[in-house]
Amino acid sequence: MSGPAQAPDTPITSKAQLVEYLAQGCKPESEWRIGTEHEKFAYSTSDFRPLPYEGEAGIQRLLIELQRFGWQPVSEGGNVIALTLDNQSVTLEPGGQFELSGAPLETIHQTCIEVGTHLKQVRQIGSELGFAMMGMGFNPKWRREDIPVMPKGRYGIMRAYMPKKGSLGLDMMLRTCTVQVNLDFATEADMVKKFRVGLALQPIATALFANSPFTEGRPNGFLSYRSHIWTDTDPDRTGMLGFVFEDGMGFERYVDHALDVPMYFVYRDGKYIDASGQSFRDFMAGRLPAYPGQIPTLRDWADHITTLFPEVRLKRYLEMRGADGGPWSRICALPALWVGLLYDGAALDAAWDLCRDWTPAEREKLRADVPKFGLSTELRGRPLRHYADQMVKIALNGLKSRSRLSPAGEDESHFLEPLVRIVESGETPAEGLLKLYRGRWNKSVDPAFTELAY
């Protein structure tokens, strides 16, 4: 989740400004970039408990120690709650999940170097302080009440509001981790096509990256419990956005949708004002109960659209949000998958051909069934593995066509090797973990904290 938005303080006087704000994301292909974000669980190596914010081996200490590598601190209320360096940022999720939001980069090669550099830094400090980190979609061991809460103002507002809208919102905040990639578009039409492909194929990505089969030390009956959690978090701001596939979809249609999503907060003078459940339309009219007589700025709009959580989110770029956290190699595989599908014209056409005639009911059923059944989910009489195979092959061709070479002369397609293996086996990562749990792990999730550590 983002911190305060970096956008102008220009007052909003019309809806047209909101539309234009999104439209400013259009870029020529030469300027398209790749922004990868990944979250991970931080825990003590002595007892596997989540790290508290304070203490000698806490999150705050980690944020301080990372500054030896040139990271600059960002504070809120006297607490360091984020770091920045060269267009990258390190931020905290509500339960202390540690997130790297990467810089906008040109190639997956650069992305994987960035990820590797960050993980090496974290691992070095962890070896000194007695903690480690791992990537899974859901905390495999600890209860909600065992998770320390980070001192960020917006999270207090969200924690109070979430239970009013769904039964699993607090689990989303405190016990999940994801990997996502942020990608550009050239025009409004290009945005719409990529948005539709991303939404339709997102359940397949969820299946390929499914990695959250445990809750509180036992199998939970799901392969991606993280993905299931989003179905009972807040129906106002989640889901598959059926309107994206309708005639007339564009920046204005998305603005209309976002305006109908209730607010969480207004950020002023370093503090969050609770506006949960209130209307951004009322804010524009100067009638926001939490902040009467005031009108929003574009910074408020940028903040508001970060509080929408659909499977694909539009800002001034598109965010692919369907994947569970996982090991180092799959952090690089996620951006490779979507870059291969969306950044090559022929691949984008092929991806759209794969899913363009799927009905709204079929898309919704995939979204509902994949968290439980993964690649065995059925679509039109075939297992999802069949469609995943086509999706990965299209992405491979797209990456080869892009022909962005490393200094060693390799293109980006090798980053998809973990997904090729998953498709060939038909076994999601979660199913592999369940085999370990029932076998060598002797029905304990504790080995995950050592064997899956970065």
pLDDT of 225-256, one tens digit each? 999 999 999 999 999 999 999 999 999 999 99
The answer, yes or no, to whether residue 4 has pLDDT greater than 70, is no
Which residues are paired to 299 by β-bridges? none
Does 331 reside within a domain? Answer: yes
pLDDT tens figures, 115-152: 999 999 999 999 999 999 999 999 999 999 999 999 99
361 found inside a domain: yes
Specify whether the CB–CB gap between 400 and 360 falls below 8 A.
no
Q: Inform me whether the pLDDT recorded for 79 exceeds 90.
A: yes
Whether residue 188 is contained in a domain is answered as yes
DSSP H helices in 108-215: 108-129, 153-161, 169-175, 188-208
Q: Mind giving me the DSSP string for 187-239?
A: SHHHHHHHHHHHHHHHHHHHHHT--B-EETTEE-S-SBHHHHHGGGT-TTTEE
* Total of domains in the chain: 1
- Is residue 9 one of the residues assigned to a domain? no
User: Is the pLDDT confidence value at 59 over 70?
Assistant: yes
Residue 169 lies in a domain: yes
Task: Give residue 5's pLDDT.
Answer: 52
Query: Is residue 358 domain-resident?
Result: yes
Question: What's the angle, vertex CA 200, arms to CA 38 and CA 414, rounded to 5?
Answer: 50
Helix (H, G, I), strand (E, B) or coil at 256: helix
pTM of the model: 0.97
Instruction: List the one residue out of 173, 198, 202 whose CA is nearest residue 264.
Output: 173
Mean pLDDT of the chain: 97
Residue 114 lies in a domain: yes
**Terminal C-alpha separation, the chain:** 22
- At 7 the pLDDT is 81
1 assigned to some structural domain = no
pLDDT tens by residue, 34-54: 999 999 999 999 999 999 999
Predicted local confidence at residue 8, as pLDDT: 81
- pLDDT, tens digit (0-9, with 9 covering 90-100), for 395-429: 999 999 999 999 999 999 999 999 999 999 999 99
Task: Give Cα separations from 128 to 64, 134, 165 (angstroms).
Answer: 13, 17, 42
Nearest to 178 by CA among 158, 205, 141: 205
Query: How do residues 13-31 score in pLDDT, each as one tens digit?
Result: 999 999 999 999 999 999 9
Query: Does position 2 have pLDDT exceeding 80, yes or no?
Result: no
CATH number of the domain that residue 43 is part of: 3.30.590.20
**pLDDT 10s digits, 288-328:** 999 999 999 999 999 999 999 999 999 999 999 999 999 99
Mean pLDDT calculated for residue range 387-394: 98
Residues spanned by the domain of 414: 15-451
